Structures are given as C-alpha cells and as structure tokens.
Structure 1
C-alpha cells in the first residue's frame, strides 16, 4: 500500500487555513459582525452592541450598564477610531463591521468632554 503525500499536504493546508480564520486565533480581524449604534454620547463617546456574529467574548463587555440612563447593553463596546466612523450612522442604526488593526495618527478634532462608555474598545471599519 502506497501512502499519498498529496492527501496529507492538503489536510495540513486545510487545517492551517481554518485556524488562521478562527476568531480566537485572529482576535476577530477579518470577520464580519453586525452591531447596533446604542448611544451617541457627547464628543464621539459612542457605545455599540454586537447583535450578530460570534465575536470573541474577551473583545467586548458581556454586559455594560450606562450609569447615566441605567440601561444595560449586551456585548457592548466603544471605538478607538471615532474619526473614521461614518457621520451618516445615527443612534439606533444597525450596521456591519470588521475589526481592523489600530490606526495611528487620526486627523480629526474630538472634544474632550466625558460621557460614559464601555471599557472594551475596538478599532472598526464599517462595511455596510
């Protein structure tokens, strides 16, 4: 019986491809999630919740309660890149996004007033 190295190589490639696409392995990068724009706080202090997609639980707050309104959100997060968040999206809207590498040197002015947001922050790209 002759062994077939081609089958073994194909199996190794398939496992490597699956592992590199796993949300836990990549931190969520490259995967599409659906979110709801929950709170449009003062000075781009935005809060979102993941409503679709198997996001790594370590990337979001399992639950977060807004101390101003006492409303609780599941799978909540804030964003690190408000300069690149589309101004067309408003509180209550849903959208799809991907997690991207953190961006350096945002070129917009964001005021420094405080409004509470979840401690978990993501750098995202809105894709729809």
Structure 2
C-alpha cells in the first residue's frame, strides 16, 4: 500500500514537472514561433495541421488524431478557428511557421458548412515567415 501511494505521488510530481510551462506557453504560446505542417485540406476550410517543431502546451492540440476518412494518424494535430486568415498560397503538405494569436471578433470571409472531419482542438493562428 505504501509503495503504491509513493508511486502515485512520484507520478503526480513527474507529470506536474513535465507540464509546467511559462505563463506565455500556458496561455497558448502567444508570441512563440512554432513550425507546422498543413496535413489535410478538407472541403470548406476543414483543415488539419500538426506541430512539427517547437514547444506547445499539449492541452492545445490532440496528441494523436486519426482521420476517419483515410485512417491516417497525425501527431500534435489541430484544426484552425480562423480559416479566413489562413494564406491561400500554403498548400497541403507545406510546412510553415506560425504563432497562436487571440481570436478575432469577426471572420472576414464566408465559409461553407459542409463537413469534413478535423481534430477537436482548434487554434487561432497567424502565419509568420
């Protein structure tokens, strides 16, 4: 009993230390440049991305996400909540640098409502070069 309690305390301490982030990172990494890959260009701006470089709060992305249409699995996957601001010159398979930014109050484009599966976690991002 004592060994399992001790193991539980050690595990909790390790998890706490492993997820400890600066206040900037815990708010989503605003101002932190990350490298992403445009994984899936689903219809109607249902986009899937993955973080391939940089430290991101693991609570902001799906550790792994499998596209039910293709059975392909992605790591550190996310969708975007601001497709109107995503540059049209970045195509599926491209890598790019981005920052997480505060959400805009209004979208500046129309997005159709057709469904294509995306990760449940969505980020508001700004592409930076």
Normalising by structure 1, we get a TM-score of 0.82
**Could you tell me which residue of structure 2 aligns to residue 75 of structure 1?**
76
Give, in angstroms, the shift of residue 71 of structure 1: 0.1
What does 1:1-128 align with in structure 2 at a 5 Å threshold? 19-20=22-23, 22-24=24-26, 26-128=27-129
Q: Give the alignment's Cα RMSD to 1 decimal.
A: 1.3
Give, in angstroms, the shift of residue 27 of structure 1: 2.2
Gaps of 5+ in 1: 1-18
Deviating above 6 A after TM superposition, structure 1's stretches of 4 or more consecutive aligned residues are none
Give, in angstroms, the shift of residue 28 of structure 1: 1.2
Give, in angstroms, the shift of residue 51 of structure 1: 0.1
Cα distance in 1 for partners of 2:25, 2:34 equals 11
Q: Larger Cα Rg: Structure 1 or Structure 2?
A: 1
Instruction: Render the CA deviation track for 1:44-103: whole Å, top value 9, x for unaligned.
Output: 000000000010000000000000000000000000000000000000000000000011
Give, in angstroms, the shift of residue 107 of structure 1: 1.6
